[in-house]
Amino acid sequence: MKRYGRITGWGKAVPERILTNHDLEGMIDTSDEWIVTRTGIRERHIAGPGETSATMSVEACQKALAHAGVDPEEVDLIIVATSTPDYLCPPVSSMVQDQLGATHAAAFTLVAGCTGFVYGLVTASQFIETGLYKKVLVVGVETLSPGVDWTDRTTCVIFGDGGAAVLLEASDQPTGILSCELGSQGKDWDALIYPGGGCAKPFSEKVLRNREHYLRMDGRRVFKFAARTMTDSVTNVVKASGLTWDDIELIIPHQANARIIELAARRLGVPMEKVMVNIDRYGNTSAASIPLALCEAVEEGRLEPGDHVVFVGFGAGLTWAAAVLHWQPEEAIRAEDWPLPASLFRPVTQVRNAVWSTQVAARARLQDAAMAAMAPINAWQRRIRGG
């Protein structure tokens, strides 16, 4: 029997601390007006003491599992997409597995820059389609703030911290990823780079003096690449899925720059109402941005069961990835099994979907409140463990 990877749970975790453009005006030579018009960003979340890629991943995974009603011990695999792990070694995915109590899960960290989450989602789907695994967690997470040069106005205004996760479960109903494209333009590997601190240029006093341990970006080069690959890859995956543009309810792009997103949407001929944008509140959270935007789209009722959504990411490498996904978090009601007059099928499905959206939004608020209430206890436990 053919298997499909269905997203059945999702959850996000962002630091409480917010840094606004006005805060940045007091730190460097910039302005709210420049940042908003050039990027669309108004504020971003910044990790506080004790908040790391591991802690945000664990919180996001716990929410995704709670949503799906799955225990951590049932998880077969955890993929954490990030460029900002807690340590270079061990893989942060192992810390997540431990702290989650996912004792039976394999775990690995996937590094593909801002494209990492889509690479991870496609990889997870393959494991499910081959029949090897039944439940896979995919996380996109970044704690970029410690690696950003807060004296460099060309990068520090852009990035933010956060994480989000989805749970994929095996299903025999056709759903999940319908088509995908993964790519890499390795000749531009140096366009987005931490120049020092790796084995090519190990950490040293010189690296520190030259500030080479901080992230550097050739913004214009990445901008051109991003606008082109976003347009081309979305066109390719929609075509490969066999769907038409009218069948696509939502595009969720990597939130790198509102201008890139608007430019690509214009080139694709897609109205902005069909494009998810939340960069104003999060900045560019790299591998976390697509799953964060997905969580918000579901909470806002912008995705209904049965919809088709396109994910598209681009970033360091330079890499890109796009996928068309059939969004069906619950078993679908099939028209052929419908016991009542056929004319009632559509309105009843619409009511069911509206109730579903309200319940999802309410549950997300409740989870956020519960996690916020637990935060001081978790911090206290971490301090005790660390000390």
Provide the sign of the torsion angle of the four alpha carbons 87, 91, 95, 100, taken in this order: positive
> Among 29-37, 67-75, 77-85, 340-348, which window interacts with ligand UT7 (CB under 6 A)?
29-37
- Return the residue of 77, 100, 110, 114 that touches ligand UT7, per CB under 6 A: 114
Q: Does 216 bind ligand UT7 (CB under 6 A)?
A: no
Site track 271-290 with ligand UT7 (rule: CB under 6 A), x = hit? -------------x-x----
- Return the residue of 11, 85, 196, 315 that touches ligand UT7, per CB under 6 A: 315
Q: Does 219 bind ligand UT7 (CB under 6 A)?
A: yes
Q: Does 298 bind ligand UT7 (CB under 6 A)?
A: no
Q: Does 223 bind ligand UT7 (CB under 6 A)?
A: yes
Q: Does 154 bind ligand UT7 (CB under 6 A)?
A: yes
Smallest gap from Cβ 149 to ligand UT7, in A, equals: 12
- Cβ 319 vs Cβ 115: under 8 Å: yes
CA pair distance 226, 286, nearest whole angstrom: 13
Q: Indicate if 114 belongs to the active site.
A: yes
Angle at 295 between CA 293 and CA 299, to 5 degrees: 115
Q: Does 123 bind ligand UT7 (CB under 6 A)?
A: no
Q: How many residues make contact with ligand UT7 (CB under 6 A)?
A: 22
Catalytic residue among 114, 156, 180, 295, which?
Answer: 114
For residues 271-305, one letter each, b for 16 or more C-beta atoms within 10 angstroms of the residue's C-beta and e for the rest, the string is eeebbbbbbebbbbbbbbbbbbbbbbbbbeebbbb
Site track 231-270 with ligand UT7 (rule: CB under 6 A), x = hit? -------------------------xx--x----------
Smallest gap from Cβ 31 to ligand UT7, in A, equals: 6
Q: Does 226 bind ligand UT7 (CB under 6 A)?
A: yes
- Return the residue of 17, 42, 134, 153 that touches ligand UT7, per CB under 6 A: 153
Task: Kindly give, in sequence order, each residue whose CB lies less than 8 Å from that of residue 45, ignoring residues fewer than 6 positions away.
Answer: 14, 15, 16, 17, 18, 19, 160, 161, 162, 282, 283
Q: Does 157 bind ligand UT7 (CB under 6 A)?
A: yes
Q: Indicate if 284 belongs to the active site.
A: yes
CA pair distance 101, 189, nearest whole angstrom: 36
- Return the residue of 17, 38, 228, 352 that touches ligand UT7, per CB under 6 A: 38
- Return the residue of 30, 184, 235, 236 that touches ligand UT7, per CB under 6 A: 30
Q: Which residue is nearest to ligand UT7 (CB)?
A: 219
Site track 45-84 with ligand UT7 (rule: CB under 6 A), x = hit? ----------------------------------------
Q: Indicate if 210 belongs to the active site.
A: no
Query: What residues are labeled active site?
Result: 114, 254, 284
Query: Contact positions toward ligand UT7, by CB under 6 A?
Result: 30, 34-35, 38-39, 114, 153-154, 157-158, 192, 219-220, 222-223, 226, 256-257, 260, 284, 286, 315
